[in-house]
Structure 1
């Protein structure tokens, strides 16, 4: 029993703390699906303007956090940063080097009961998710 605990501590010291759902975290910019209100793909973020659904969530969900894919040019997601600032939503630009079709994620810091889709299924979404 004591050896198991010691082995676990040593492994964490060498390899770091084990991550829950690493593939999901790579896809969704460090968060997991059960926390997501909405995510948009690269093409959807590059689309001129912003999606009104994103602003609606920022207005209604004060516990939201905006994650932005740092692989996209700032000019494409700057309007989402402005919206986040307007609604006092914190944001983080993720530059972890993972290749993901996801451009932005609006998520909570805990699991949510999501009744609707966490994405907008339009032509731009379909193009990125092929």
Structure 2
């Protein structure tokens, strides 16, 4: 509550708080109208997926990666320092997201394949007669 009061005080001290209020309203609409329902819908879909723990973990990692990289991708204009963004962040983000997805698929699928192979191997062996 204290920090909200400090924020309101700083907002009231601005000569033109209209831009900040528009940004806050947009953030509220974006969060409550788009992001929260999207996260809930994805959570409901993931609940029925086998290996949902791995899928949830991969979605969390991908979400954090996108949130960290998004300001760099959406920044308008050229960076003030040309060395600030020397790499193609969009391509690198897609590569890292593909790697996270591949790791999640491997973690979800490989243990099942190993169990199935072990089960079929134990069923195929003939019993020993000494």
Question: Do the two structures share a fold, i.e. TM-score over 0.5?
Answer: no
Instruction: Find the structure with the greater CA-based Rg.
Output: 2
Higher helix proportion (structure 1 or 2): 2
Normalised TM-score (structure 1): 0.23
Kindly indicate which of the two structures has a greater share of residues assigned to strand.
Answer: 1
